[in-house]
Structures are given as C-alpha cells and as structure tokens.
Amino acid sequence: MAPTSMGSMSQPAIEVENLSKRYGEVVAVDDVSLAVAPGEVLGVLGANGAGKTTMIELIAGLRVPDRGRVRVLGRDPRRDRAAVRQLLGVQLQEAELHSALTVGELLGLYRSFYPDPRPAEELLDLVELRGQARTRFEKLSGGQQQRLSIALALAGRPRVVILDELTTGLDPRARRHIWAGVEGLRDETVLLVSHAMDEVQRLCDRVVLLDAGRIVALDTPAGLVAKAGVANLEEAFVRLTGKEIVTEENA
Amino acid sequence: MNEVTVRRPGAGSWLTLIGCEAKMVARDTAGLVVPIVLPLLILIMNAAAAGDQEVAGGRSALEVYVLPLVFTIVLATIGIVNMPSFLAYYRRSGLLRRLAVTPASPTMVLVAQMVVSLAQAVVGIGLAYAIAVVGFGARPPADVGMALAVAGLSVAAMYGLGMIVASVAPTPNSSVAIGLIAFFALGAVGGLFGGPDSLPEPVARVASWLPFGATVEGLSNAWSGASVDASNLAGLAISAVVGATVAAFLFRWD
C-alpha cells in the first residue's frame, strides 16, 4: 500500500478543516479536521449516528457545511463542482439505479459521463458481474446490486474514491474478491466507511474513529489497538467509543 | 497533480441517457396503457359513428371532436401522470442523488425525460391519427400550422403541470394519484366526459383557459379551419410559465 506519512510535501488528496454540520438540534459533524494523503486508504469507523454519512456527503459536496472547509485534490467540492465530480468516484449507501436497465446498460450510461472511463469488461470482472451483464438492476440480488454500485463508482477512473459500506450484505467470498479489487487500487485515494473490523484491518492504512460527530482517534489499525491497550480492533472500537459495534444486519 | 481538464458530458452522454430513459419508459408496460392504449380505445369506440356525422364546414365529428379529445388525452396523461411519476421515483430512490456525484447533473435526467415523453406523445398521436385516417377516413387539419402550434404549446403546458405534480408529490405512488386527480379534474371541465355545452357557462369559460380544455378547443378549431381563440393559446402559455416557475422553487432533487 502507499506510504501514509503525513509529513510528505505533497498536497493531501482530501483535506477537512474544522468541519461542522448540524440538523436542527442534532450535531452530525462537530469540528472535524483531517487530511488524507494521496494513495492512502482511510477507514471511517463509528457507531450508527456517529456522523459518518454526513461527513462523506460534505466531502462529496452533496451538503453545505455550517462551518469549516473541505478540499478534494485542492478543490472546493461545491464551488469547483465540475472538476471534483470528474475526479471523485462515490458509492452511496442506499442509492438505487434505473431499475429497468441492465447491468451493461447502466455501465454504459455511467461510463458515458466521464472523459476516460474504464473498459466495461474490466469493471464487470472486478465485481464479478460478467454473467449478469444482461440482467436488469431490479432482478439482481442485493449483493449484486452492491457490487454494481462499486463498479459504477470506479467507472470514471477517479483519483479519490468514497466507498460507503463497501461489503455490507455480501457473502464472504464476494467480500474477499471486492477487497482484492480495492487493494488493486494503487494510485487512488480511498475513503472507506465500514462497520466491518476485518475489512478495515485488511484494507486501511489509517482509521478515523468518530463518535457523536467528533474524532475520537485517528491512527493506524495497529496503533489504535495499542492505544486502547486491547487485543484487537473490535475491542479498541468498543474501548474508545464506549459503544458496541452495531452492524447493518442487527441494527 | 492539479491540472485537470474538466470535460462536461457531451453529445454521446446525452444520447446514451436519452436512450436509457426511453428504455425505462418502454419497459414500463403498465405505464404505456393509459397514454397510448386508452386513447386508442376511445378513438376506435367513437370513430365509426363520428366519422359519418357531419358538423360545420363539411368536417366530420371525428375530426372536430373526437381526434382533438384523443390527442389531448395522450398529451395530458404523459405530461401530468407519467413523466412526474418517473421523476418522483428517481428522487425517492436516491437515483438523482447518485447522479449528483457524477459529472452528469440531475437536470440531464429531467431534460432526457422530457425528450422521451415528447417522443412518446408523437408515437401515441401518430398511431391514433394513422388509425383515424386509414380506418375512418379522417382528413388533416384545415390549418396544419395552427394545429402544430396548439400541440406544441399544449406540450409545454402539460409539462408545466407535470413539474408541479413532481414537485409536490413525496412518493411515486402519490405522484400517480395527484397526477390522475389533476388529469380527471381538468378533463371533466375540458370535455373529457362531454362537450362544454353540458357544463355551466362560467365553468366552460374557465375551462377554455385551462390546459385540457384549451388544447381540445384549439385543436378542434384548427381542424375545422375556424380561428383559434386567443384565450386557448394564452391559457396554455400561462400554464407552462406558472408550472416552470412553481417547479423552479419547489422541485427538490433529494
């Protein structure tokens, strides 16, 4: 994996400074600052409601921050919208696609939005959907829909990729395949929201732990475990946030 | 690493998206029944009798009454019921939000839906007209240019109403419900269940300003060669402008 030293001279791929966002009385993101180095895979961990999705939506320019600033490859995702859209690939949780279109048609559509898209075959192989190219989105299983969503996030050869709940709902074999695919992203910067400790352990160079909208810890997976003085990442999560891990399945 | 040539989605992207929206509409079999099949049934049920019944200026009732009504039903159901239901579904499902993080803007989907809806209206009207001409001896409008102008204004007016429906409907189902209610309400005062003569005079006068009644009257006059009432044209234009304005303020992308 790429080096993660924050002391390097290069500009961060993602830069967040004093970012805050509230919905009415609820503070979703509270004065968050972090920098993600080019090529780094940063895991975003936190219990449900910790502010993970809001932070991602702020970085993707889908929401306006109350305070603070966001830069993606040095650009403001709202003011410099067109450039950021082209450089950023996003897999959103619970975003549907055109239900009556086939996998092949959807890939063709999303590829057409970008100047230099990845070949459709490469994307189909990455998420193992070659056999489903002619299947309509509405006929895919939940796991297959999820995999297609990942392929679409990578369609435009993004330099920064946001993956929200990458392998939630996938079977163990599909998870490993997707993981191998993410490990193959050598040049891309990845922001990986996850509930799965094994996934974070395997893929992430560093992990940011959120609780009630604030950063509780930001370290390598091994560093987090050492800091908490526990045996593994799961225990570190519980120790540092005081919360049990709630997965999508038992939420 | 800062130099990036920003390229907006080009003609190829637009064509791909329009093709995709066309497939969405064509594969929604149930959604084709109301705007395409229903008007054809109304035409066929009425054409035989109306084709022989002569009204003013040597024109048949088929040309002056039935065809304008059938064409208006096609335009209204597509604009007020079908198109908004797609937009409501796209918003509800997060599809517009998903597109908002690509170089394509959700506006592209809106425009593509309008293009496809227009094509659908051309197909629906074309089929009905072909059957009326071939099967029942209907003739072209006396004033072709005026008929096209009324139809064009009507498309804009129906889209305007459709955008209001798409703006206020929280879910796809409520969009269909609101759209159908609007369709039947406008239709009831616009000649869907009988000519304006059967309505109280003030209602009939208002109806000739409203999109459904204005389209029926405008097309009817274009067919018979009578001059089209300014209230019809103005009414359609006002509906289009009001619809666009309301939608600009109320339409939400997510």
| Distance in angstroms (rounded) separating the CA atoms of residues A161 and A59 | 11
Q: What is the C-alpha separation between B78 and A166, in angstroms, rounded? A: 39
pLDDT score, position A5: 46
Element (DSSP H or E) covering residue A17? strand A14-23
Residue of B nearest to A108 (CA): B16
Which region among A14-28, A158-172, B15-29, B215-229 has the lowest average model confidence (pLDDT)? Answer: A158-172
Instruction: Give the DSSP letter of residue A133.
Output: T
Share of chain A above pLDDT 70, in %: 93
Which residue in the set A61, A88, A97 is minimally distant from B95, CB to CB? A97
Q: Looking at residue B203, what is its pLDDT?
A: 85
More confident residue, A48 or A106: A106
- A-chain CB neighbours of B85 within 8 Å are none
Over the stretch A203-241, which tens digit does the pLDDT of each residue have? 999 999 999 999 999 999 999 888 888 888 888 888 888
Provide the mean pLDDT of chain A: 89
Tokens of B199: 């309505």
Looking at residue A171, what is its pLDDT? 86
Cβ contacts of residue A247 below 8 Å, gap of 6+?
A168, A195, A196
Under a CB-based contact definition with an 8 Å cutoff, are residues B40 and B67 in contact? no
Task: Flag the least confident range among A68-77, A173-182, B209-218.
Answer: A173-182
Chain B closest-CA separation from residue A230 CA (Å) = 39
Chain centroid to CA A46? 13
Determine how many CB atoms are found less than 10 A away from the CB of residue B3: 4
C-alpha–C-alpha distance, residues B39 and B211, integer Å? 17
- In sequence order, what are the residues at sequence separation of 6 or more whose Cβ sits closer than 8 angstroms to the Cβ of residue B140? none
User: What pTM value is reported for the model?
Assistant: 0.89
Question: How high is the ipTM of this complex?
Answer: 0.89
- Give the model's confidence band at A250: pLDDT under 50 very low, under 70 low, under 90 confident, else very high: very low
Instruction: Please tell me the predicted confidence (pLDDT) of residue A6.
Output: 46
**In the prediction, which pLDDT does B230 show?**
94
Is the C-alpha dihedral spanning A114, A117, A120, A125 positive or negative?
A: negative
What pLDDT is attached to residue A174? 84
Q: Work out the average pLDDT over B192-206.
A: 82
Tokens, residue A119: 């070949």
Question: pLDDT tens across B207-243, in order?
Answer: 889 999 999 999 999 999 999 999 999 999 999 999 9
* Residue of chain B nearest A74, judged by CA positions: B2
A61: left (phi over 0), alpha (psi -120 to 50) or beta: left
* Cβ <8 Å between A113 and B2: no
Half-sphere exposure of B212 (CA within 13 A, CB side): 26
User: In this model, does residue A129 exceed pLDDT 70?
Assistant: yes
Cβ count within 10 A of residue B254: 15
Neighbouring CB atoms inside 10 A of A5's CB total 9
Nearest to A112 among B16, B95, B97 (CB): B16
In chain B, what percentage of residues exceed pLDDT 70?
A: 98
From chain B, the residues in CB contact with A108 under 8 A are 16
Task: Please identify which residue in the block is written with the tokens 């996998």.
Answer: A103
User: Mean pLDDT in chain B?
Assistant: 92
Whether the pLDDT of residue B182 is over 90: the answer is yes
Confidence band of A251 (pLDDT split at 50, 70, 90)? very low
Q: What pLDDT sits at residue A245? A: 61
Residues forming beta bridges with residue A69, ordered by sequence position = A17
Q: Which of B172, B167, B174, B175 is nearest to B253 (CA)?
A: B167
CA distance B108 to chain A (A): 11
- Residue A107: CA atoms inside 13 Å, Cβ hemisphere, count? 28
A 8-27 residues with CB below 8 A of B? Answer: 10-11
Would you call B94 and A95 a contact, using CB atoms and an 8 Å cutoff?
yes
Nearest-Cα distance to chain B for A63, in Å, is 11
**What was the pLDDT predicted at A246?**
55
Whether B8 shows a pLDDT value over 90: the answer reads no
SS3 content of chain B, % helix, strand, coil (to 5): 80, 0, 20
